[in-house]
Structure 1
Amino acid sequence: MPSKVGLLRCPEYDAEKLHKILEHALQNNPRWLAGIQQGSKVFLKLNLLMKKKPEEAVTTHPAVVEAVTRLLQERGAIVIIGDSPGGPYLPGRLKSIYRVCGLEDVALRTGAILNYDVSEVLVPFPGGRVTRSFHLIKPVTEADYVISLSKLKTHMMTKYTGAVKNLFGTIPGLRKADYHLKMPKTKDFCDMLIDLALCVKPVLHIMDGIIAMEGKGPSGGKPRKVGALLMSDDPFALDVVALNLVGIVPETVPTVARAKARDLVYHLSQVEIYGTDVAEWQVKGFVAPKISGNVKFPIPDFITNALRPKPVFLQDPCIGCADCVTNCPPQALVIKNGYPVVDLEKCIRCFCCQELCPRKAIDIKRNPLGRLLER
C-alpha cells in the first residue's frame, strides 16, 4: 500500500487559514491523529536550528506551530513545544531562541508549554543499522506522541534537510558532535539519521514549505517562496514529494539513497499524493548545493584530502564570536588574530561551522576536479 502525502497550497503565514487547511487535510486521514485524546501529551519537535527571525526561513514558522497547536488542543491534548538547537543545550539559550523565533508569543496565545527540560535519556534501538541506542532529549521520551514540524531547506552536507533529518534535533546539544565524529562519512551519517527517524517514530510529519530556503542552507541560504505545506505519517515519502516539488532528484540526496538501500520509500511511484498533483506544481530554478560524494575509484589519501570541499572563512562579515570553534565536532578550529583557522587534516566536512554561523561568514569551497571524481 503506498504511503500517503498531503501536498497543500498555502500562500501565506496566517495561523487561522493554516488551521483550516490542516483540519481539512486531516479529515481525509483521520487515523494520523486517531490516538490523541483528552490529556494526551504531544511533543511538537520543531526545526529551531538557531536564533533567527521567522522571516529568515531558518526555523519552523510560528504561524505553522500555532495552527498545529490549536488543532491538537481542540482534541484535548497537552502540547509541549521544543527542539535541541545547534550548540549547547541550555535553558537560557532555549529561552533566547524561543523569543526570537516567535514561539514565546505562540505559547502566550495558546497556552502551549515551551520545553526547558535539558535532561536526556539513553534509549535502546536494537533494530538500528548503524546505531543501536540514542541519547534523546527527555521530553521526546516522556510524550505520548511526537509530531515533527520540519522546514523545507537545502543543506551543505546532505544537500537537503527535511522530515528525516529534522529528527537529529532530538539528540541533545553538543552530543550531536559525537554522532558526527563516529560517522564522518555521509553514507554512515545518513544511515544513522534513518535509524533515528525509525527510533523516534513521530505519528505525523508536517513540513513548512511556505517560505523555503535554497542555496547555502540550512542557515546561510536565501528564502524562497514555495507556498506549500506537506504532511504524512511517513517521513521518507514526505521527503520524496518535497524534493520532486522543488526539482531535486531524490536519489541525489544521501538520506533518500540510503532509504532506497534499506527498502524504504525513495521514489514518487511509491507515494499517493492528495491535495495538489506534484506534476502540476513544479518550482522552477530552485538552487540546491552540489554536495560531495565518494570518489569513483581509490586514490591516495593526500589527493583525496586536497579534492574534498572545505570551509572558507570570510573576514568581512566575521565578528570573531567563536561559535564555529565551540560547535566543531573534531575541534579542528581555533581563533587566531581574531578569526577562525581550520586544520583540514582534522576537519571531517560536517560543515557544522557553516550551519551555525550567525553572520553567514563561512562558505564551502569545492574543488572542480573533485566534482569530476565524485559519483
Structure 2
Amino acid sequence: MSTVGIKKCKSYSEGDIKESFNELIAGFDKEKIYGKKIIIFFDFPQPDIEILKRVIEFLKENGATKISAGTSIFIKDLPESIQTLFKNEKIKFIDFRKDNYEKTDVSLRKTPNLEHFRGFAILSPVQYATEKAITKMETPSIRTLKSVFLPASFSENDYVVAITKMKDSPLAKLGGFVNSMTSLITTKTRAEIFVNAMQNKQHESLLEIFSLMKNKVLFGVVDGVKASISNNKEINQMKVLLFSDDLLSLDSVTSVLIGFRSNEIETNRLGDIFGFGSGTFNHITLYGDDFVEIRKEATKMLRYSKVFGKRNQPIPKITKEDKLKINKSMDFCPTGAIIEKEGFYLIDKNKCIKCYFCVEIAGDVFKL
C-alpha cells in the first residue's frame, strides 16, 4: 500500500507553495538524496516555477551532487522564466528530442488471474482446493512492446523526480504520469502504441514503458494549484498539491479528484494488477488535509462542471467559423448527444456519457 500526501495550497505565491511543500516532504527519507545524481522530468503544460524552485532547493539542501532537468517540448519553447531559473541554479536542461537514446528491452510480465469466487463455504474439500488453485494461477508471460528507446539521461542519473500539472481533460483517462511516458519515447515506439490501440492494448504498452522508469523514481509532485492553462481565473482553481514516491498512486488520487473512480482509468486498474504501484484508491493511504473536503471543492471548479447540469443544455448561437469546431465535436461524439436545433446546439444528457471530447475540441465555442 502506497502513501500520498495532499495539501491545500491557496496560490502560487512563494509563501503558500513553500508551506504546503514542506509539510508534504516532512516524512520523506532524505538520506536517499545524499550523493546522488538526479534528473527532474516534466511534460506540458509545465508546472509553476515556484514548485520547481522548491524541488530544486529540497534536493540541494539534502546533498544531491548533480541536478539536471529534461522534457520534450512539443508545443512551445521552454518559458524564459524557467530557463533563467535553471541558469541561475546551474542546472543543465536537456531537450529529450535532441538527447541520445538507448535501447531498453521490455521485461516479460506475468498477470495474475483476478480472483473468481464461487462460494468457497459451500464447496466440497476437493472443489475448494480446485477453486483456490485457480486464483493462484498465472497467465503466460507476455508483453506488447519488445524494446523501447529511452533518453540516455535516465540511465546516467541515479534518480528521477517527476513533476506534472494536473489536467482536467479526457487525457486524464489515460493517466497523468503514465500518459506522460509518451513524451519520452521515439516516434517509432509511439507509433507502436497507436497500433496496439487497435487491439485495445495501448494501456498495457504505456505501462510497460512506465515500468522501465518506476524503479528510478525518487518522488513525484502533482501541481494542482491550478489545473489548466486557461486564462479564465474562475475555473480550475483546484488549490492542491500532491506528493508520493509512487507515481501510479498519484495518478489514482488525481483521477478521483477530478471526478472519476480510480478503477475507471484503465492504466490505474492494470498498473495495480501488474504490481507497478497502487493504482486503485482503496490501496492508498492518504496524509495531510481532508481529502473529501478538497475533492468536494475541486469538482465544483472543473472546467466542464456546469456543462451537463441540465437535461438539454443550450449552447450559444455560433458563427460560421465556430460551426466547424462544433461539427468536429459532433463527429467525435460517440453517442450523438450533440443535437442541432433551430440554429442552436444542445447536449442531450440522456445520451451523453461524459467523454468531454466536445469540451476539449470546442471549449471556447461552448463558452466554458
Structure whose CA Rg is larger: 2
Task: Determine if contact 1:5/1:231 at 8 Å carries over to the other structure.
Answer: yes
Is 1:64 the equivalent of 2:51?
Answer: yes
Query: Structure 1 141/250 Cα, relative in aligned 2: closer, same or farther at 3 Å?
Result: same
Task: Determine if contact 1:154/1:160 at 8 Å carries over to the other structure.
Answer: no
Is 1:163 the equivalent of 2:177?
Answer: yes
Is 1:204 the equivalent of 2:204?
Answer: no
- Could you tell me which of 234, 249, 260 is aligned with 2:246? 234
Query: Structure 1 18/110 Cα, relative in aligned 2: closer, same or farther at 3 Å?
Result: farther
Residue 10 of structure 1 corresponds to which residue in structure 2? 9
- Could you tell me which of 30, 35, 42 is aligned with 2:32? 35
Q: CA deviation at 1:176?
A: 5.2
Once residues 328 and 168 of structure 2 are traced to their aligned partners in structure 1, the CA distance between those partners, rounded to angstroms, is 16
Q: Which amino acid aligns with 1:42?
A: I
Residue 61 of structure 2 corresponds to which residue in structure 1? 74
Once residues 11 and 122 of structure 1 are traced to their aligned partners in structure 2, the CA distance between those partners, rounded to angstroms, is 43
Q: CA deviation at 1:29?
A: 2.4
Q: Which amino acid aligns with 2:37?
A: K
Q: CA deviation at 1:152?
A: 1.0
Q: Point out the structure with the larger helix share.
A: 2
1:24 match: secondary structure: helix
Once residues 86 and 354 of structure 2 are traced to their aligned partners in structure 1, the CA distance between those partners, rounded to angstroms, is 47
Pairs aligned (count): 285
Residue 105 of structure 1 corresponds to which residue in structure 2? 84
Once residues 328 and 354 of structure 2 are traced to their aligned partners in structure 1, the CA distance between those partners, rounded to angstroms, is 23
- Could you tell me which of 47, 55, 58 is aligned with 2:43? 47
Query: Structure 1 251/213 Cα, relative in aligned 2: closer, same or farther at 3 Å?
Result: farther
- Could you tell me which of 173, 188, 201 is aligned with 2:201? 188
1:82 match: secondary structure: strand
Structure 2 gaps of 5+ residues are 110-142, 306-318, 338-350, 356-368
- Farther off after superposition, 126-135 or 203-212: 126-135
- Farther off after superposition, 161-170 or 64-73: 161-170
1:229 match: secondary structure: strand
- TM-score, normalised on structure 1? 0.65
Once residues 207 and 39 of structure 2 are traced to their aligned partners in structure 1, the CA distance between those partners, rounded to angstroms, is 20
- Could you tell me which of 245, 249, 252 is aligned with 2:264? 252
Task: Determine if contact 1:152/1:161 at 8 Å carries over to the other structure.
Answer: no
Once residues 225 and 92 of structure 2 are traced to their aligned partners in structure 1, the CA distance between those partners, rounded to angstroms, is 25
Once residues 187 and 154 of structure 1 are traced to their aligned partners in structure 2, the CA distance between those partners, rounded to angstroms, is 23
Query: Structure 1 186/63 Cα, relative in aligned 2: closer, same or farther at 3 Å?
Result: farther
Once residues 198 and 157 of structure 1 are traced to their aligned partners in structure 2, the CA distance between those partners, rounded to angstroms, is 20
Q: CA deviation at 1:253?
A: 1.8
Query: Structure 1 254/288 Cα, relative in aligned 2: closer, same or farther at 3 Å?
Result: farther
Residue 334 of structure 2 corresponds to which residue in structure 1? 367
- TM-score, normalised on structure 2? 0.66
Map 1:279-318 onto structure 2 (within 5 A): 279-282=292-295, 283-285=298-300, 286=302, 316=321
Query: Structure 1 138/127 Cα, relative in aligned 2: closer, same or farther at 3 Å?
Result: same
